Structure formats: C-alpha cells, structure tokens
Structure 1
C-alpha cells in the first residue's frame, strides 16, 4: 500500500512542479506536458539505469502516466490569478515529490536487497533526479546544486530506510511528512550547507 501511495503522490507532485516551471518559462501547452512528464518520471528512469533495472520498466507505469497527464491538465486549466505565489507553490510541490520519491526509491533498493549505500543513492536519484532534469531543460541551475539543503533530505530518508530498524507503513508516512516539512523549512528559512568560493588573484 505504501509503495502505491508514494508512487502516486510523487508522480502528481512532480508533474505539477514541472508544469509550474514550464509556465514560468512561458512554454506552450506541449512544452508544459513534456516538462511535467519528464519531471515526474526522470528520477525513476535514472535510478533504474544505475541499479541495473531495464529502462523499459518505465513504460509499465501506464496508470501513473495517466495520473500525471490528468494532474498537469487540471493545473493548466486552473485560473492563474488564484495563485499569488507561483514560486512558493512550485517549491511545495517539489518538496512533496522529493520526499515521496526518495522514500519510494529507497524502498525499491531495499526490496532488491541492495547495500545501504545503494539505498541512499537510489533515494537521492529518485527524489532529486526528476527535478535536475526539469531544471536543466528549463535552463536553470538545478536546485540540488544550490546552497539551500535539498538532496541531503533525500539521502537522510534513504539512510533511515536502509538501516531497516524502523519498519511499517506508519514509519514511512511519518518520514514522508518530516522530510517534506524539513525541505520546506530549508527553503523558507534559508538553511544551507557550508560552502567555499575560490578567489584568484592576478
């Protein structure tokens, strides 16, 4: 049950996130659908390649494709004046997608009995991969490379799931809410990891 729930939540959230970015960049309707679909399924495709699953498994998710297309269509038809803070909506849907797909990716790796390092990598790639592809196609610097904390939350979810200490759907739902909340906080409060810039003198 948890697997299906997180798949649906992540797919819809990232599809809308991609649609928001496409509309911000003034893409046409076709571009909105393309960016929404790529955002929703890009992370899973990258994960499958790196953990040895055939890319063709992506096409077995017909129902998820339908949900993604429906979500994009509904969001496109909603009058834009109802949303005063487009960027904030985009970060919220992105946070939801990051959390849901990070957990789903980690669950997938655990199911395949992969080591904890692979579980963490699967969580990061599934959670952040779609957003990276979205930002690159939109000509933006990927969120994962910015100062604010992003992929660390996905890695944390992968680590906790990979330990297999806590089990059960209740833990996974609690983890989903926690990761989503922390990601939103890192955006709104400006939390960031240490960084260092190299200056060259002439």
Structure 2
C-alpha cells in the first residue's frame, strides 16, 4: 500500500512537471507525452539499472502508465488561464516528485537488503533521474546541477529509510514532507551548497 501510494504521488507530480516544461518549450502533443513519461519513469529505470533490477520491470507498471497518460492529457487540454495558474506550481510538483521517488527508491534498496550506501544512491537516482533526463531533452541545465540545493535533500530518505529508522507509512510521509519543505525553502531563499571556481 505504501509503495503504491508513493508511486502514484511521484508519477503524477513528475508527469505534470514534464508537461509544464514541454509546454514552456512549445513542444507539440507528442513532445508533451514523451517529456512527461521520461520525467515520471526515467528515475526508476536508472535506479533499476544501478541496483540490479531487470529493466523489464518498468513495463509491469501498466496502471501508472495509464494514470500518467490521463494526467498529461488533462493538463494539455486545460484552458490557458488555468494552465498559467497551474504552471506556477511547477517547482512544487517537481519537489513532490523528488520526495516521493526518493523515499520509494530508498525503500526499494532496503527491501533488497542492500547496504546504506545503496539506499542513498537509489533515493538520489530515483528522485532526480527523471528530472535530469527531462531537462536534457528540453535543452536545459538539469535542476540537480543548479545552485539551489536539490539532490542533497534525497539523502534524508536514503539515510533514514536505509538505516531502518523509519519503516511505516506515517514515517515515510514525514520524510516526504521534509524533502518537499526543504526543497521549496532552498528555492525561496536561494540556499546553495559550497562552490569553487577555477580561473583558467
């Protein structure tokens, strides 16, 4: 049940995120579907390759494909004034997808009895993989490489779930909420990790 809820939350959030980016770049309907699907399912595919899960398991998510398709179609058909309102929430939807898939990725690795490092990596790649693919296809610099803190928040899920400190639905939702909150705060207040520049 927990797995399914996180899957649905992350799929809807990232599918919408992909749709908004596609429409900002003025892609046609097929471009909207492609960008939405790779955003919603790309992170899971990357995670599966990393931790040794057969890539073909991606095609066992028939219900999620249908949900993503319906959400993207509805978003594409929204009147312009509603679409403009919804598109302002693009960062929020991306944050929800980041949190939901980070928790799900950490759960996946933990259930396979992989070490803590694998849970952290699975959380990071599940949470950010789809967004990275989306941004690259849209010709944008991936969010994960921008100055606001992004991928670092997924380590919350990797550590707490991978270490076995959290193993119930309320706990997973708290971690999800924390990731979303910290991600939005990092955007609002322009938090960033330390950087260095080498002048050549």
Q: Kindly indicate whether the alpha-carbon contact (under 8 Å) linking 2:8 and 2:64 is maintained by their aligned counterparts in 1.
A: yes
Which of structure 1's runs of 4+ aligned residues deviate more than 4 A? 83-87
Judge conservation of contact 2:156–2:175 (CA < 8 Å) in 1.
no
Which stretch of the first structure deviates more once superposed, 40-49 or 184-193?
184-193
Note if contact 2:119-2:159 (Cα within 8 Å) is conserved in structure 1: yes
Q: Distance in 2 between matches of 1:35 and 1:117?
A: 30
Q: 1:117: which partner in 2?
A: 117
Q: TM-score, normalised by structure 1?
A: 0.96
Residue deviations 1:72-107, cap 9 Å, x none? 011111112224466642111100000000000000
1:127 aligns with 2:137: no
Measure how far apart 1:50 and its partner are. 0.8
Residue in structure 2 matched with residue 11 of structure 1 by the alignment: 11
TM-score (structure 2 length as normaliser): 0.97
Q: List runs of 5+ in structure 2 lacking aligned partners.
A: none
1:129-183 deviation digits (Å, cap 9, x = unpaired): 0000000000000000111100001122111111112321111111111111111
Separation in structure 1 between the aligned mates of residue 15 and residue 86 of structure 2, nearest angstrom: 15
Question: Does structure 1 retain, via aligned residues, the 8 Å contact 2:99–2:179?
Answer: yes
SS at match of 1:141: coil
Correspondence for 1:160: 160
List alignment gaps of at least 5 residues for structure 1. none
Q: Distance in 1 between matches of 2:71 and 2:86?
A: 16
- RMSD, aligned CA: 1.2
1:66-145 equivalent positions in 2, closer than 5 A: 66-84=66-84, 88-145=88-145
